[in-house]
Amino acid sequence: MTGTTDAELLARIGAGDRSAFEAFYRRHAAWLVLRLRYRCLDTTLVDDVVQETFLAVWRGTARYREQGDDVAGWLWRIGSRRLVDSLRGHGARQRLAGLLARRRSAEAPSAEEQVLVGVEHGDLGGALARLSPELRAVVQATVLDGLSTAEAAVLLGIPRGTVKTRAMRARRQLREELT
C-alpha cells in the first residue's frame, strides 16, 4: 500500500479493510510510541495507549475529518488525550509515584511529570480549576495535551491569535495565583 495516502487508508479502514488498517498501523505506530514515551516513562502504559488509539481508529470511534488538519496531528491528539486520561484514571497516582521514585534514584523527574503531579495533588489543580473554561481549554490543549498553537486552534475552532492571547492570559492568572 505504498503510495496510498492516509486519507485513502482511513476510508478503506472505515469500510473494514484489515490490510489498510495494518498498513496505517505500520506507518504511524512507531512515531506515536516514541512521541508518547517522551511524555511518560511507563512503557506498558504507553503501549496500552497506542493500542487504544489504533483500536479507536479501527472501530470508528475516532473519525478523521479533513479540515486542514493532517492525519498525524489528528492521531497525535487521540493518543495524547488517551495518555492524559490514563494518567488521570484509577491507579495513576500509584504508577506515577512508582515512576517518580525509580526516577529520583537515577535523576530528577521531568517537567511534565512534575506538572502532572501538581495537577493531581498541588495548588496548580485548584488554580487551573479557577480559570475560565476558555482559558482552561487552551491550557489543556497546549500544555497538557502537547498540541501546537495551530493544532489547538483547529481543535478549539478559534483563530491562532486567540489561542496565543488566551494562553498568555492563563499564564498570567496562574502566575498570580501561585506566587
Indicate yes or no: pTM above 0.75.
Answer: no
pLDDT reported for residue 104: 54
Give the rounded percent of residues in the chain with a pLDDT score beyond 70. Answer: 74
Nearest to 119 by CA among 132, 136, 135: 136
Same domain, 8 and 78: yes
Average pLDDT over residues 34-50: 86
Of 1-10, 15-24, 28-37, 131-140, the range with the lowest mean pLDDT is 1-10
- Are residues 26 and 70 located together in one domain of the fold? yes
Residue with cell string 487552551: 138
Check residue 145 and report its DSSP letter.
S
Q: Express as a percent the part of the chain with pLDDT over 90.
A: 20
> What per-residue confidence (pLDDT) applies to 169?
94
Q: What amino acid occupies position 161? A: G
10 neighbors 25 (Cβ within 8 angstroms)? no
| Domain CATH for 37 | 1.10.1740.10
Q: Using the structure block, give the residue that is written with the C-alpha cell 534514584.
A: 105
Q: Which stretches of 15-148 are DSSP H helices?
A: 18-37, 43-59, 71-88, 92-106, 111-121, 123-129, 133-139
What pLDDT is recorded for position 110?
A: 61
Confidence of residue 71 (pLDDT cuts 50, 70, 90): confident
- Residue 97 inside a domain? The answer is no
**Residues spanned by the domain of 150:** 122-179
Q: At what angle do helices 92-106 and 71-88 cross, to 10 degrees?
A: 100
Average pLDDT of the chain is 79
Q: Do both 83 and 126 map to the same domain?
A: no
53-64 residue pLDDT tens = 999 888 876 666
Is residue 11 included in any domain, yes or no? Answer: yes
- The structural domain count of the chain equals 2
CA 64, chain centre distance (Å):
16
- Whether residues 74 and 149 fall in one domain: no
Determine the Cα–Cα distance for residues 121 and 28; give it in Å rounded to an integer. Answer: 34
Distance (Å) of CA 78 to CA 63, 128, 136 = 10, 22, 19
My answer on whether 9 and 81 are in the same domain is yes
Q: Residue 104: inside a domain, yes or no?
A: no
The last residue of one of the domains, among 66, 88, 110, is 88
Tell me which of 111 and 150 has the higher pLDDT.
150
Query: Are 134 and 76 part of one and the same domain?
Result: no
Determine, yes or no, domain membership for 106.
Answer: no
Considering the domain architecture, whether residues 17 and 73 belong to the same structural domain is answered as yes
